[in-house]
Amino acid sequence: MAERVYLYDTTLRDGAQTQGVDFSAADKVRIARELDRIGIDYVEGGWPGANPTDDAFFADPPVFKRSRLTAFGMTRRAGRSADNDPGLNALLITPARVATMVGKSWDFQVTVALGIELDENLRMVGDSVKHALTRVEEVMFDAEHFFDGYKANPAYALAAAKAAYDSGARWVVLCDTNGGTLPHEMRRIVSEVIKGGIPGSHLGVHCHNDSDTAVANSLAAVEAGVRQVQGTLNGLGERCGNANLISIIPALMLKMGFDTGIAPEDLKNLVSVSRALDEVLDRTPARGQPYVGKSAFAHKGGLHVSAVAKDPKCYEHVDPASVGNVRHIVMSDQAGRSNLVARMAEIGVDLEHVRKDGLIRVVEQMQVTFDAHEATDLVDLVKRLEHEGYAYDQAAASFELLVRRALGQVPEYFTLERYRVIDERRRNAVGEWITLSEATVKVEVGGTEYMEVGEGTGPVHAFDVALRKVLTRVYPALTALELKDYRVRITESTVGTAAKTRVTIESEDDKGHRWTTVGVHTNVLEASLEALQDSITFMLFRFKDGQ
């Protein structure tokens, strides 16, 4: 039977210490529910008494089906009895039945940060654990700076850890607080602590990522014998973050053969749990995030795709479905015919080659002025367009439109006959400078011509407002279209030295569909309009019937 490793999440406490992160109590509840849904053993809700948000969270915490709620705080202060320490007692009177206390284990920290005698610190640890056990069911001790402390004074670091263990702490958690430890040091120190008298079944590890080794360190600590791992979703946390549970969990389960209490079926929620945190933080999910990122199983190089078509194991370390992810085949100038065939199959087009007249039609529609007309097939066309500045690996919707236009499958939903954009800088009524843009568009839809004017904070915004004034009349579904991200990048031109601009737009509808489109031109407005028109066309083509 697989050995058990316990998981402890500190997203709501150490994660809340991330610069730029500011959870509300409702955010915390939402994240806590996700952690419970996937089956994390311990969910640290925060530090009761530290701030009103954490107090509000602990006043009305979510009811868990699987996880144990944990309250965090510190050992009693020097010179006070544990019973008479308001800070310590605040974490013992919440609905959480598990309390985690941080305390010093590095002699230097005791002397410098606390400014007290080394023995008093050991008494603070022991007293606090004993006192907490009179109020809650389970107590953990986070031995702060344990690894730095052990390197400086092993006997003292071990004495601090043992003060907690001997006083009844269920778990002694060895913390790499400054994140400077490397995996080989982890293995050695954990083994020595076990030899020193604390069994691995009572040891946990809490790693920070300052050396970019937090996940590796956590796994090394487990290899050396610890049986609890602390971390956060997506590696949130103080400074460079904590060990990323989203990477640790599948590594423990799929590669090291441990039982984490998470069933294989629950592991398939890994992507959705990771995205739920990004959603709360209003962050774009990191494409390159191992296991759960959109690029984690995206194959771009022609050689890779050709081999993946034969057996995905050729270029995948785990099955993407095991963590709830999917495989993507990406089209770009690194592609071969295998990419095209696989990508077309992915979007439901079963055709290897597109006739030359289709390619020329697409090139004309895109109004590109180079030799794309000479393209012999779609792979060739994509490579030529990428050379011009298009980037289809980041703009799957534009790629799909390119293919389907070449096949004559995309209706002409609208035709932009002409537009005019005026930018104005003037003083407002109270004399402040303001900039305003106004766009006039003339659009033909189904044989009828429409003209509209839109105002915006910039020319692209004004154009979007005017265009959508026309199109939502005919296609009401477009009211749900939201532009989520707009990125501009200067690329090198193949013709002379003139700079080309690539605009990438990410869009979303009210059903949670997201798609990305691209436009390229020497004029940033033209590039934006191309990406914007692709975005609108893609929504009408793919989603307007509410699929």
Ligand X SMILES: CC(=O)SCCNC(=O)CCNC(=O)[C@H](O)C(C)(C)COP(=O)(O)OP(=O)(O)OC[C@H]1O[C@@H](n2cnc3c(N)ncnc32)[C@H](O)[C@@H]1OP(=O)(O)O
Q: What does the binding site for ligand CC(=O)C(=O)O look like in residue numbers (CB under 6 A)? A: 14, 102, 142, 144, 175, 177, 206, 208
Spatial neighbors of 12 by CB under 8 A, at least 6 apart, are: 23, 28, 31, 32, 43, 44, 45, 46, 57
CB of 203 to ligand CC(=O)C(=O)O, least distance (A): 15
Picked from ligand CC(=O)C(=O)O, ligand X, none, the partner binding residue 400 (CB below 5 to 8 A depending on kind) is none
CA distances 306 to 327, 353, 379, 392, Å, are 14, 17, 14, 19
The H or E element spanning position 433 is: strand 433-445
Picked from ligand X, ligand CC(=O)C(=O)O, none, the partner binding residue 41 (CB below 5 to 8 A depending on kind) is none
Q: Are 503 and 525 in contact (CB under 8 A)?
A: no
- Alpha-carbon distance of 39 to 260, in angstroms, equals 9
Count of chain residues binding ligand X (CB under 6 A): 17
- Alpha-carbon distance of 162 to 154, in angstroms, equals 12
Report strand pairing: 514-521 vs 500-508.
antiparallel
The binder of ligand X chosen from 48, 103, 320, 454 (CB under 6 A): 103
Contacts with ligand X, 129-148, as mask; x by CB under 6 A: ---------------x----
Picked from ligand X, ligand CC(=O)C(=O)O, none, the partner binding residue 75 (CB below 5 to 8 A depending on kind) is ligand X
Strand order in the sheet with 433-445: 415-427, 433-445, 448-456
Q: Which stretch binds ligand X (CB under 6 A): 45-53, 241-249, 269-277, 295-303?
A: 45-53
CB of 190 to ligand CC(=O)C(=O)O, least distance (A): 16
User: Which residue type is seen at 367?
Assistant: Q
Picked from ligand CC(=O)C(=O)O, ligand X, none, the partner binding residue 404 (CB below 5 to 8 A depending on kind) is none
Closest CA to 41 of 4, 3, 6: 6
**Per-position DSSP letters for 500-538, written without gaps between them:** EEEEEEEEE-TTS-EEEEEEEESSHHHHHHHHHHHHHHH
- Whichever of 160 and 198 has its CB closer to ligand X, that residue is 160
- Whichever of 208 and 521 has its CB closer to ligand CC(=O)C(=O)O, that residue is 208
CB of 192 to ligand CC(=O)C(=O)O, least distance (A): 19
CB of 230 to ligand CC(=O)C(=O)O, least distance (A): 8
**How many of the other CB atoms lie within 10 Å of CB of 293?**
17
User: DSSP strand E in 128-255: where?
Assistant: 138-144, 171-176, 203-207, 228-231
In the window 170-209, what residues touch ligand X (CB under 6 A)? Answer: 177
CB of 298 to ligand X, least distance (A): 35
Q: Which stretch binds ligand X (CB under 6 A): 73-81, 407-415, 463-471, 533-541?
A: 73-81
Picked from ligand X, ligand CC(=O)C(=O)O, none, the partner binding residue 103 (CB below 5 to 8 A depending on kind) is ligand X
Q: Which stretch binds ligand X (CB under 6 A): 74-82, 274-282, 340-348, 418-426?
A: 74-82
Picked from ligand CC(=O)C(=O)O, ligand X, none, the partner binding residue 208 (CB below 5 to 8 A depending on kind) is ligand CC(=O)C(=O)O
**How many of the other CB atoms lie within 10 Å of CB of 412?**
11
- Whichever of 175 and 524 has its CB closer to ligand CC(=O)C(=O)O, that residue is 175
Applying CB under 6 A, does 114 fall inside the site for ligand X? yes
Strand order in the sheet with 514-521: 482-491, 500-508, 514-521
- Whichever of 67 and 177 has its CB closer to ligand CC(=O)C(=O)O, that residue is 177
Closest CA to 205 of 222, 193, 192: 222
CA distances 134 to 72, 93, 228, Å, are 16, 11, 23
Residue ranges that bind ligand X, judged by CB under 6 A: 14, 17, 47, 50-51, 74-75, 77, 102-104, 113-114, 124, 144, 177, 238
